[in-house]
């Protein structure tokens, strides 16, 4: 359902993405692994049109994103189908947990307040925050905030969700909370693309792993293959370093 073809992006002289191509099927969980600066987060952000790119194209179902596409309405169509969860959560601090989740359904989809709140309560229950509906983000722990952020993304009923290092700002206990929520989502057949540095996380949820290095996909395959039998030197070096950390 997501198809990326020959994506290139430059910042001045620096090539951040050098012809990335990959496909994510419906219900598939793809994890992007690789050393820092390899272009994982940039790739994720271009899919949600938070970054522009210079060549190639991105297809999401029947919608296409090209370098020359600037129409805001079209970009909004794409963003509605693809949710995003950020490393720093980016919850709206002036709203309660419940309001964070109802904000977009009410004002983008035009849901009534009752409908939006009913759905938001279900989602917050699902991520284990039934008792935090009216809490402000500043009073929540990092793990709780990230779970609200996931509920917020789910509230738009996206066809795919992009996770940009969702556990990097969390300690191990809070990481476990978030990983278990993501694993639940994976079981329910939610299409996801996840950027992470955590090998454990990747192994537990991924259907496919793409190892990115220097702006290109070095190797793709199921977790078993990537972890047990890596084909590329880049992948081996990365895994050795990551395991030693």
Partner 1 sequence: MKNAGGLLAAICLLAAALGVASVPAAADTLDEIKKRGELVFGGDAEGGGPFVFPRQDDPTQVQGFEIELANLLAARLGVKARFSQGQWGKLPDLLQRGDIDVVLNGYEWTPALGQRFAASLPYYVYELQMLVRKNDDRAKQLSDLGMPGLDGKMRIAVLGGSAAERYLQKAFGNNVEIVSYEGTTDAMQGVEQALDGVDATLQDLPIVTYYEKRFPKLRRLGEPVEPGFYVILARQDDQRLIQALNQAILGCYQDGSFPRVLARYGMWNDTQRRRGLVTDERGNFRPDLPATAPAQAGDAAAPPRRGLWQMLWQDGLGWILVQAAGVTVLLASLAMPLAIFVGLAIAVGRLYGPRFLRPPLGWYVEVIRGTPLVLQLYVIFFILPSWGLAIPAFWAAVFGLALNYSAYEAEIYRAGLQAIPRGQMEAALSLGMSRWLALRRIIIPQAMRVVIPPVMNDFIAMFKDTAVCSLITVVELSKAYYIHAQSTGAVVQLGLVTALLYLAMSYPLSIFVSRMERRLAEGRRHD
Q: Which residues bind partner 1 (CB under 8 A)?
A: 48, 50, 72, 76, 79-80, 82-84, 86, 88, 90-94, 103-104, 107-108, 136, 138-139, 149, 152-153, 156
Distance of CA 110 to the CA centre of its chain: 25
Which of 87, 88, 90 is closest to 196 using CA atoms? 87
CB of 92 to partner 1, least distance (A): 6
Which of 62, 58, 135, 66 is closest to 95 using CA atoms? 135
**Nearer to partner 1 by C-beta: 50 or 214?**
50
Which single residue is written with the structure tokens 């993304």?
153
CB of 70 to partner 1, least distance (A): 12
**Nearer to partner 1 by C-beta: 13 or 138?**
138
Strand partners for 5? 57
**Nearer to partner 1 by C-beta: 35 or 142?**
142
At residue 4, φ and ψ (nearest 5 deg) are: -110, 130
Helices (H), the chain: 40-47, 72-81, 97-104, 113-126, 142-154, 172-187, 199-205, 223-228, 233-244
CB of 208 to partner 1, least distance (A): 23
**Nearer to partner 1 by C-beta: 109 or 130?**
109
CB of 37 to partner 1, least distance (A): 20
């Amino acid at each position: 359902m997501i198809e990326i073809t020959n994506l290139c992006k430059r910042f001045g002289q620096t090539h951040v993405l050098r012809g990335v191509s990959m496909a994510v099927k419906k219900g598939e969980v793809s994890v992007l692994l690789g050393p820092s600066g390899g272009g994982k987060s940039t790739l994720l952000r271009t899919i949600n049109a938070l970054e522009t790119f210079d060549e190639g194209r991105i297809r999401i179902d029947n919608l296409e994103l090209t370098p020359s596409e600037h129409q805001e309405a079209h970009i909004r169509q794409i963003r509605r189908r693809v949710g995003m969860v950020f490393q720093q959560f980016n919850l709206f601090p002036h709203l309660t947990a419940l309001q964070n989740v109802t904000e977009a359904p009410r004002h983008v989809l035009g849901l009534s307040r009752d409908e939006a709140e009913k759905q938001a309560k279900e989602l917050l229950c699902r991520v284990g925050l039934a008792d935090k509906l009216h809490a402000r983000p500043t009073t929540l722990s990092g793990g709780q905030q990230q779970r609200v952020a996931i509920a917020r993304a789910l509230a738009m009923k996206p066809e795919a969700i992009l996770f940009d290092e969702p556990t990097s700002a969390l300690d191990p206990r809070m990481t476990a909370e978030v990983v278990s929520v993501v694993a639940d989502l994976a079981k329910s057949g939610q299409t996801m693309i996840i950027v992470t540095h955590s090998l454990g996380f990747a192994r537990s949820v991924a259907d496919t792993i793409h190892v990115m290095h220097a702006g290109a996909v070095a190797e793709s395959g199921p977790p078993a293959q990537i972890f047990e039998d890596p084909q590329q030197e880049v992948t081996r070096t990365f895994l050795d370093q990551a395991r030693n950390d």
